[in-house]
Amino acid sequence: MVDPAVRADGDAEGFGPPAEAGSNGGAIHRLVLDHYQAVYRYAFRLTGSVCDAEDLTQNTFLIAQQKLYQLREPEKTDRWLFAILRSCYLKNRRRHRPVAAVNLELNVDELPEESVRQAEQSGVDEERLQRALNELADEFKLILLMFYFEDLSYKEIAARLQVKMGTVMSRLSRAKGWLRKSLLSLESDSLARRSVSRPLASPRAGNSGE
Amino acid sequence: MSVDDPRLREQLDACRPDPQDRSVEDFPELAAELQTNATLRDTLARSRRWDAALQEVMQRVPVPQDLAMRLLSGLPDGPADAGLLNVVADVAVSSPAIPASGEATLSQTRRRTWLMTAGAALAVTAAVVLVLAYVLPDNRTAVTQRSLEREVPRWMASVDPQRWRLAASPPQAFPVSPVLPLAAHRWQALPQTITQDPVVCYDLTPRGQRPVLLFVMRTPRRVDLPTRPARPTLDTQMLSVGVWRDQNRKDLVYTLAVEGNAQRFEHLIRPQIASVSVPRPSVRTQSFGKT
């Protein structure tokens, strides 16, 4: 999965030469101070670990410093940093072998009103949320975080990841279904442990819409 | 009512939490069904409420309170031209109180801000000041362990993030103590308005770790201090302070402030097996070593 905003080495498309590279000390410091919290939070949700999130945040800003000349729309700085972050994450992630997906999803129409009300009033179990995210394959997790964390539409996600809109919709729906199931089912932990493979471990297995 | 058509479910899930989101217009089939089907409208509304709750929780991740300082220290250009103390204050205000996980909770507990540390240390040292004022009045003129500990909170508060000197020669008259196995990244002279004698502050924070500051003072006053920082003389668990004087120059006084407990202090000052003054070959850290 490629993010067209930032390639694997952090290069953005369609931007000019590094005319101002090397003279960006103050700018990068401002960038860190303004955005490190959002970047760290995103990194934590992606990695599920404080240490990994800090490393990912550090790498993101190191690349941002090198590529600062590529930033032409300051109002979209956070999106630019998130794209770098995703790129760093994908570059360094551990590879998992594709395995068959397990149907452990709760459909959108099965969402109980009582659970929704409870989530609105007292939130959801954050540890369980992070566990559920950790168990998702990256291809699902990235789309889910782009939807929830960046508040992107399925079209924007498809454009940024350069995948078909149908693929995004399918993965998004399945990932949301997994999240609903994980958060609402009292037995989700044991179910997850019982399954030999990670749920939604690979978009190549049992995935539609591509 | 169950939504039997998987395409319809995917379309519902593609709708964003914001009720103003226009994604529904992309799906004529869903839009038409929503016109006539009240249950489906309820399903969409419920899904959006659920998504909005999740969206809010997703953002609720506590940020380590010294992260900004460590990030800035890790950049090749060195630390900030913008306020570290302000950063700490910003984080203290904006970080959510509810932790995301047990791991994060532990981290948050471990990583106190300098401001909190300074506040706690200030309270401790204020008590010390009162005791000294009544019990040991003669010691006020000499440089002692207690007089230096009393100064630390004021010195820390007066460190100006705008005034760090990067990639410049450190002042020869205020060298980093040779007994420390730590390299300095940057330095600044403290305003003389707040110090009785001239003081230079060095940032010795190892990459990716909690802050370590060394204050070097030159004084004509009598100095009653050991020549090595064997162990911290002040340990609040959040801040450890050790004081000593130079072995050869009695007018050179060192005060090391370490965020953390005595164990971290002792670990930091323990001589390293590797070279102590050659900066590590890392692109992340610039160091001018010790003088």
A45 touches chain B (CB under 8 A): yes
Orientation of helix A154-161 relative to helix A165-184, angle to 10°: 120
Q: Over range B190-204, report the average pLDDT.
A: 80
**Hey, what amino acid is at B128?**
V
Tell which A residues from 7 to 36 touch B, by Cβ distance under 8 Å. 25-26, 28-30, 32-33, 36
- ipTM of the modeled complex: 0.77
**Which one is predicted more confidently, B68 or A44?**
A44
* Helix ranges, A48-76 (H): 50-66
pLDDT above 60 for A209: no
In tens, the pLDDT along B26-75 reads 999 999 999 999 999 999 999 999 999 999 999 889 888 678 777 877 77
SS3 string, B105-157, reads HHHHHHCCCHHHHHHHHHHHHHHHHHHHHHHCHHHHCCECHHHHHHHHHHHHH
B196 close to B215: Cβ distance less than 8 angstroms = no
The whole-angstrom distance between A110's CA and the closest CA on chain B is: 7
Residue whose pair of structure tokens reads 């959108």 in the numeric block: A108
Q: What angle do CA B72, B74, B80 make, to 5 degrees?
A: 25
| Smallest Cα distance from B79 to chain A, Å | 8
**Inter-chain contact B95–A120, Cβ cutoff 8 Å?**
no
Return mean pLDDT, chain B. 72
**Which helix (H) or strand (E) element contains residue B269?**
helix B262-269
- Is A114 near chain B, with CB under 8 Å? no
The highest-confidence range among A49-58, B149-158, B198-207, by mean pLDDT, is A49-58
Note which residues in 144-203 of chain B have CB less than 8 A from chain A: none
- Any CB–CB contact under 8 A between A145 and chain B? yes
Q: Do A36 and B63 touch (CB under 8 A)?
A: yes
In the prediction, which pLDDT does A166 show?
A: 94
Cβ atoms within 10 Å of A93's Cβ, excluding its own: 12
Closest chain A CA to residue B283: A62
Contact A172 B57 (CB under 8 A): no
**Cβ within 8 Å of B, A 62-91:** 62, 65
Residue B16 has pLDDT above 80, yes or no: yes
**Residue B273: predicted pLDDT:** 46
E-strand ranges in B190-229 read: 199-203, 212-218
B206 touches chain A (CB under 8 A): no
3-state secondary structure A123-173: CCCHHHHHHHHHHCCHHHHHHHHHHHCCCCCHHHHHHHHCCCHHHHHHHHH
Contact list, B49 vs chain A (CB under 8 Å): 116, 119-120
Alpha-carbon gap, residue B45 to B40, rounded angstroms: 9
- Rounded average pLDDT over A43-48: 94
| A154: closest CA of chain B, how far (Å) | 6
| Confidence check: pLDDT of B214 > 90 | yes
Supply the pLDDT for residue B86. Answer: 39
State the nearest Cα–Cα gap between A33 and chain B, in angstroms.
7
> How is residue B234 written in tokens?
């002040």
Instruction: Return the pLDDT at B261.
Output: 87
CA distance B91 to chain A (A): 8
Question: What digits encode the pLDDT tens for the residues B265-289?
Answer: 988 888 754 433 434 333 343 333 3
Query: Assign residue B137 a region: left if phi > 0, alpha if psi is -120 to 50, beta otherwise?
Result: alpha
Buried (b) or exposed (e) across A136-173, using 16+ Cβ within 10 A? bbbbbbbbbbbbbbbebbbeebbebbebebebbbbbbb
Q: Which of B23, B46, B75 sits opposite A113 (nearest CB)?
A: B46
Question: Counting runs of H as helices and runs of E as strands, what totals does chain B give?
Answer: 9, 7
CA distance A65 to A209: 38
Does residue A21 register a pLDDT over 80? Answer: no
pLDDT at A16 (0 to 100) = 29
The mean pLDDT of A79-94, rounded to a whole number, is: 89
What is d(CA A81, CA A174) in angstroms, rounded to the nearest whole number? 27
Which pLDDT value is given to residue A155? 95
A134 lies within 8 A of chain B by CB: no
Q: Can you tell me the mean pLDDT for A107-134?
A: 88
With beta carbons less than 8 A apart as the criterion, state whether B262 and B240 touch: yes
Residue type, B154: R
pLDDT at A89: 93
Euclidean distance between CA atoms B269 and A80, whole angstroms: 41
pLDDT in tens, A124-176: 888 899 999 998 999 999 999 999 999 999 999 999 999 999 999 999 999 99
Q: What global pTM score does this model have?
A: 0.53
Contact B62, B95 (CB under 8 A): yes
